[in-house]
A and B are shown apart, each in its own frame.
Chain A
Amino acid sequence: MNRRVVEFITALRAQGVRISVAESIDALRAADVAGVTDRKVFRSALRATLVKEPQDLPTFDKLFPAYFGSDPPPPMMQPGGGMSDEEREQFMQQLMEMLRSMTPEQLRQLFEAMMTGQRMSGQQMRQMLDEHTSLSQMPPNVPGSWALRRAMRELQFDRLQELLEELLEKLREAGVSEEALQQLAEEARQNQQALAQQLAQEAGAGMAQREAEQPRPRPSEEELLDRPFEYMDEEDLAELRPIVTRLAAQLRSRVALRQKRANKGNLDAKSTIRANMRYGAVPLDIRHRRKHLKPRLVIICDRSRSTEQVVRFLLQLIYTLQDVVSRTRSFAFIDTIYDISSYFNEARPEQAIEQVLQNVYPKRSYSTDLGQSLADLMRDHAGCIDHRTTVVVLGDARNNENDPRLDVFEQIKRRSHKIVWFNPEAPHMWGQYDPGSLSSDMLKYMPLCDSVHHVSNLRQLVAAVDSLFVR
């Protein structure tokens, strides 16, 4: 049993669930305590010890049947209940005769199970699927239902129906009553369905196990960090999610340490005297004036197709760093400014980002207008920028020949603590004419920024975000 559990853990790991050695030991102890007699309890015990993230639960649910057997297959019934003894004799005799001459072997097995109501074991069935179908050679990306249909065809599963008709015809000739025949047909049909269901379970479990044992080759972490955002596909994104979480944790502790070390400000005499009144004014508890070290952030993102991935990662990083930031407001711009902070107040960052990307999107091409957006920002949300705010603009500054509104940008710069630009484009493209998106105003904005960062991959983005927290 222990070995099976360990194999199961290996499979879970191969599917990207993070399980430490300590947790596997817990799982084994839990399995011991919970016992294997009650499947549901055993399953909950493994689940409580192995799966610590809600998003890993589906993986667990998918793999569990492959390693510890499926739910018990539906019950089969013994056909021929409504027959007289004589008729049953007839039935058995005819059935034996048919079975004797039937080929191929797997069809004979299925038909026998169907007509006698004797269940096939999961192992038998798995063996049959392995030997007589192409299920095990199926490439892993084939949808399960399609593979199953094909396997059923290879087993000639629909011929069972014909065989049943044939048997019924023979019995009819032998003079079995019509009523008994109908009942027999009905029972046989139900058994057939039960068999189909069992086959589907076993096939699904087999596929899940095979998939778990041959994990897809993955690019290394270093490679992903350096891969430009525009070349990333869905799979890379999934791979990157845990990495981003870890990078964020690293960033957070680095920033928190920096803030802590710098925490000793000047002596706050007033507060010290007040706090120490209860000690007879002996200054035991020295109070310092806290420096406001946690930055306030205002993030302005270009929501266009080219910057989608960068926006995703930037927002995820920033919102996982919330405990070292004193306040964050985030905006997206297309032709005007959209306040997206509210999404993040109600959902976890990943969900919120998806919602933002779904709800805020460009309705026509060439609609980006940063100048107008900045003006709208100053009109509607000027209050969120003050002398402690760091303003981050994320975008390629390709403005479709619209007025860049440098006056507004300068106004923002004057109001804010500093203004930082993140540009996903390579520096040699800045200010260059590009037929796709026309002119770039980067060189016009650049002198007004306190710093400009090139962020085309995750490594650069993390470094740029880190620099926000340095005074």
Chain B
Amino acid sequence: MRRFFGRERSERKAANVFDTIEEIRSRLGEQQYIASDEIATTVFLAERLNKPVLAEGPAGVGKTELAKVWAAATGRDLIRLQCYEGLDETKALYEWEYAKQLLYTQLLRDKLSDLLAGAETLGQAADRLAAEEDVFFSDRFLLPRPLLRALTSERPVVLLIDEIDRADAEFEAFLLEVLSDFQVSVPELGTIKARHQPMVLLTSNNTRELSEALKRRCLYIHIDYPSLDDEERIVNLKVPGLPPRLARQAVELVQRLRTMDLKKYPSISETLDWARALLELNARSLDRHTLDTTMSVLLKYESDLRKARRAVARADDERAERRRRDRDDEFRNFREN
């Protein structure tokens, strides 16, 4: 049986708190995450001020990943709440296990008739039954969902509320109590306060404006696509087998694609997928054939693919043209001499 209010187990040691920002950076680095100044500072502040963090930015720049490495670096558990349209309290916070309650009522029928046996009036019977009501509305029949799990967890946790912009505005309002006081009210049980204050990371892909009230309660980071050098470091770190020269070329191409007018830009995770694909295929260089076969890992729209292929072909032609001209020049110089 799930006993999340249990008191038997001794409390495990609290998560170690970072002392300096450098330490955060190196600990996240151990988890293979390259944190920029902003990210490291924000995580540091979140730990110190006990405030939730709101990370915004395009899809696939490592917002969700940050929660994972944060949890791993501090030895916390990660609890994830994926938001979607129509998400409500019963799916995010708790639900009563009706079926179990019903089953218990059935099984305890004899016991119940014992209890009610001596009752003379209907009112008395109802009073007795009411006295036992707590049995049915206790944590025994409560089905905790991610938010409640995060608050009542024995171990310190990192709570990831992913893609909050997909949830409805009402759900956002509901989150406010959780985020500012780290407590929730369950009508039948009263207010439940967090045992360990969870570190909360909210992510948003910016598809809709979040409410002022929510933003006010959070620290804010805007994570954007990384610079050329940073992305190269990430690729070298995550796909160690890829020759550095090829990695550089690949990242350069990805960065160039991001400057083009595409429907969807390749994200870091797609760059990594592509790098892995290149490694699997034992690619030596980014020639036309390799690109044609693997580019679909990077770009997910037919029109984008066509555009990118055209651009690459044009660049290739220009390079070939330049090479031809250089060779001609050399030849001419040679003849003149």
Contact of B102 among A23, A26, A280 (CB under 8 A): A280
Q: Is the CB of B211 within 8 A of A249?
A: yes
Please report the C-alpha to C-alpha distance between residue A280 and residue B101 in the assembled complex, in whole angstroms.
Answer: 12
Please report the C-alpha to C-alpha distance between residue A343 and residue B144 in the assembled complex, in whole angstroms.
Answer: 41
Interface residues of A in 267-318 (CB under 8 A from B): 278-280, 282, 284-285
Evaluate whether A48 and B216 lie within 8 angstroms (CB atoms) in the complex, with A323-B169, A348-B206 already known.
Answer: no
Q: Is the CB of A49 within 8 A of B219?
A: yes
Q: Is the CB of B41 within 8 A of A26?
A: no
Evaluate whether A51 and B220 lie within 8 angstroms (CB atoms) in the complex, with A41-B41, A45-B41, A256-B169 already known.
Answer: yes
Provide the residues of chain B in CB contact with A51, threshold 8 Å: 220
Q: Is residue B37 within 8 Å, beta carbon to beta carbon, of the partner chain?
A: yes
Q: Is residue B323 within 8 Å, beta carbon to beta carbon, of the partner chain?
A: no
How many residues of chain B have a CB within 8 Å of chain A? 37
Contact of A348 among B45, B170, B207 (CB under 8 A): B207
Q: Is residue A245 within 8 Å, beta carbon to beta carbon, of the partner chain?
A: yes
Q: Is residue B77 within 8 Å, beta carbon to beta carbon, of the partner chain?
A: no
Please report the C-alpha to C-alpha distance between residue A249 and residue B211 in the assembled complex, in whole angstroms.
Answer: 8
Q: Is the CB of B48 within 8 A of A41?
A: no
Contact of A49 among B45, B169, B211 (CB under 8 A): B45
Provide the residues of chain B in CB contact with A33, threshold 8 Å: 44-45, 48-49
Taking the closest CB of chain B, its distance from the CB of A297, in whole angstroms, is 17
Q: Is the CB of A48 within 8 A of B207?
A: no
Taking the closest CB of chain B, its distance from the CB of A246, in whole angstroms, is 9
Contact of B98 among A52, A279, A323 (CB under 8 A): A279
Contact of A48 among B169, B208, B217, B220 (CB under 8 A): B220
Q: Is residue B181 within 8 Å, beta carbon to beta carbon, of the partner chain?
A: no
15 A-B residue pairings within 8 Å (CB atoms): A26-B51, A33-B44, A41-B41, A44-B38, A47-B220, A48-B219, A52-B220, A53-B215, A57-B222, A278-B98, A278-B99, A280-B102, A323-B169, A346-B263, A348-B207
Residue in A closest to B51 when the chains form the complex, CB atoms: A26
Please report the C-alpha to C-alpha distance between residue A53 and residue B41 in the assembled complex, in whole angstroms.
Answer: 18
Q: Is the CB of A45 within 8 A of B169?
A: no
Provide the residues of chain B in CB contact with A34, threshold 8 Å: 21, 41, 44-45
Please report the C-alpha to C-alpha distance between residue A447 and residue B221 in the assembled complex, in whole angstroms.
Answer: 53
Q: Is the CB of B21 within 8 A of A41?
A: yes
* B 202-213 to A, binary, CB cutoff 8 A, 1 in contact else 0: 000011110110
Q: Is the CB of B38 within 8 A of A47?
A: yes
Evaluate whether A44 and B216 lie within 8 angstroms (CB atoms) in the complex, with A30-B49, A256-B170, A284-B98 already known.
Answer: no
Q: Is the CB of A45 within 8 A of B45?
A: yes
Evaluate whether A44 and B37 lie within 8 angstroms (CB atoms) in the complex, with A57-B222, A284-B98 already known.
Answer: yes
Q: Is residue A253 within 8 Å, beta carbon to beta carbon, of the partner chain?
A: yes
Taking the closest CB of chain B, its distance from the CB of A37, in whole angstroms, is 11
Please report the C-alpha to C-alpha distance between residue A57 and residue B56 in the assembled complex, in whole angstroms.
Answer: 13
Please report the C-alpha to C-alpha distance between residue A53 and residue B218 in the assembled complex, in whole angstroms.
Answer: 12
Interface pairs A-B: 4 shortest CB-CB = A44-B41, A52-B215, A48-B219, A33-B48
Q: Is the CB of B98 within 8 A of A322?
A: no
Provide the residues of chain A in CB contact with B211, threshold 8 Å: 249
Residue in A closest to B262 when the chains form the complex, CB atoms: A346
Contact of B221 among A48, A285, A323 (CB under 8 A): A48
Q: Is residue A54 within 8 Å, beta carbon to beta carbon, of the partner chain?
A: yes
Q: Is residue B168 within 8 Å, beta carbon to beta carbon, of the partner chain?
A: yes
Interface centre among B38, B41, B98, B217, by most chain A C-beta atoms within 10 angstroms, is B41
Contact of B169 among A23, A252, A279 (CB under 8 A): A252
Q: Is the CB of A52 within 8 A of B216?
A: yes
Provide the residues of chain A in CB contact with B206, threshold 8 Å: 54, 348
* B 153-173 to A, binary, CB cutoff 8 A, 1 in contact else 0: 000000000000000111000
Q: Is the CB of A279 within 8 A of B99?
A: yes
Provide the residues of chain A in CB contact with B42, threshold 8 Å: 44, 48
Q: Is residue A20 within 8 Å, beta carbon to beta carbon, of the partner chain?
A: yes
Q: Is residue A142 within 8 Å, beta carbon to beta carbon, of the partner chain?
A: no
Residue in B closest to A350 when the chains form the complex, CB atoms: B209
Please report the C-alpha to C-alpha distance between residue A44 and residue B51 in the assembled complex, in whole angstroms.
Answer: 15
Please report the C-alpha to C-alpha distance between residue A389 and residue B239 in the assembled complex, in whole angstroms.
Answer: 51
Q: Is the CB of A323 within 8 A of B49?
A: no
Q: Is the CB of B48 within 8 A of A323?
A: no
Extra inter-chain contacts (9) besides given A54-B222, A256-B169, CB under 8 Å: A26-B51, A29-B49, A30-B49, A33-B45, A44-B37, A49-B45, A52-B215, A278-B98, A320-B209
Interface residues of B in 86-121 (CB under 8 A from A): 98-99, 102, 106
Q: Is the CB of B102 within 8 A of A279?
A: yes
Please report the C-alpha to C-alpha distance between residue A284 and residue B102 in the assembled complex, in whole angstroms.
Answer: 10
Interface centre among B21, B49, B99, B220, by most chain A C-beta atoms within 10 angstroms, is B220
Please report the C-alpha to C-alpha distance between residue A45 and residue B49 in the assembled complex, in whole angstroms.
Answer: 11
Residue in A closest to B210 when the chains form the complex, CB atoms: A52
Residue in B closest to A19 when the chains form the complex, CB atoms: B216
Provide the residues of chain A in CB contact with B221, threshold 8 Å: 48
Q: Is residue A470 within 8 Å, beta carbon to beta carbon, of the partner chain?
A: no
Provide the residues of chain A in CB contact with B263, threshold 8 Å: 346
Residue in B closest to A346 when the chains form the complex, CB atoms: B263
Please report the C-alpha to C-alpha distance between residue A463 and residue B41 in the assembled complex, in whole angstroms.
Answer: 45
Taking the closest CB of chain A, its distance from the CB of B300, in whole angstroms, is 12
Please report the C-alpha to C-alpha distance between residue A52 and residue B54 in the assembled complex, in whole angstroms.
Answer: 9
Q: Is the CB of B216 within 8 A of A22?
A: yes
Provide the residues of chain A in CB contact with B212, threshold 8 Å: 18, 20
Provide the residues of chain A in CB contact with B132, threshold 8 Å: none
Provide the residues of chain B in CB contact with A278, threshold 8 Å: 98-99
Residue in B closest to A30 when the chains form the complex, CB atoms: B45
Q: Is the CB of B41 within 8 A of A48?
A: yes
Taking the closest CB of chain A, its distance from the CB of B66, in whole angstroms, is 14
Q: Is the CB of A40 within 8 A of B219?
A: no
Residue in A closest to B206 when the chains form the complex, CB atoms: A348
Taking the closest CB of chain B, its distance from the CB of A143, in whole angstroms, is 27
Taking the closest CB of chain B, its distance from the CB of A248, in whole angstroms, is 8
Q: Is the CB of B85 within 8 A of A323?
A: yes
Residue in B closest to A319 when the chains form the complex, CB atoms: B208
Interface centre among A29, A38, A41, A279, by most chain B C-beta atoms within 10 angstroms, is A41
Taking the closest CB of chain B, its distance from the CB of A296, in whole angstroms, is 16
Taking the closest CB of chain A, its distance from the CB of B180, in whole angstroms, is 9
Please report the C-alpha to C-alpha distance between residue A57 and residue B99 in the assembled complex, in whole angstroms.
Answer: 52
Residue in B closest to A54 when the chains form the complex, CB atoms: B222
Evaluate whether A41 and B102 lie within 8 angstroms (CB atoms) in the complex, with A48-B45, A49-B45, A49-B219 already known.
Answer: no
Taking the closest CB of chain B, its distance from the CB of A49, in whole angstroms, is 6
